[in-house]
Amino acid sequence: MADETVFFLLRHGETALTAERRFSGSGGADPALSERGRGQAGQVAGAAVLEAVEAVVSSPLARCLETARPVADRLGLPVTVADGLRETAFGAWEGRTFAEVRERFPAELDAWFAGPAAAPPGGESFDDVTSRVAAARDELLAAHRGRTVLLVSHVTPIKTLVRLALGAPHEAVFRMDLAPASLSAVAHYPDGNASVRFLNATAHLA
């Protein structure tokens, strides 16, 4: 459809916390990309599928901005920031591994898995994240109607955008895998429908 709006969804490259599989949200440290992550950002900038991109929008966190800049530079585009694309604030879980959280916060972790209204201590629930991500999506759709846009974000916001496009239940976020610097794509149509074009593509990193 001529008026479709396509969002390419790019997860940021690796950080030291990514490599150690630690909770890394928007409520704690703001780590930069690791050396490997910077290499991934350079690789994704060369992905042929991104040649159609007409605008680049990033989470405000450093790892996303670092990932966005090589693509934007290659395309000759500025990077704009959308706060709604930031990662979940994980509160007391920030910087901890899953095993550490399981040991120290077992009841809270069980509740977090059980339903989207539960939040890590001092952090955001999935319901909170869904509300702001959906609002950011709607703002971006209004601003970029009919264009192809690269959104550089994090695991939870990207999974949420895909889940909403599919009309899938909350549990779907636990059934998707997103590698660092992976690409996904969602098309939105004027009648309000959406379709997922692809998920977790990593061929550009080979």
- For residue 85, what is the enclosing H or E element? none
CA distance 47 to 189: 25
CA distance 109 to 186: 30
Report the phi/psi class of residue 94: left, alpha or beta, with left for phi > 0 and alpha for psi in -120 to 50: beta
**Cβ atoms 14, 36 nearer than 8 A:** yes
Active site residue 12: yes
Q: Which one from 14, 87, 94, 124 is the annotated catalytic residue?
A: 87
Active site residue 204: no
CA distance 180 to 155: 9
CB proximity list for 147: less than 8 A, separation 6 or greater: 5, 6, 54, 55
Report the phi/psi class of residue 196: left, alpha or beta, with left for phi > 0 and alpha for psi in -120 to 50: beta
Residues annotated as part of the active site: 12, 87
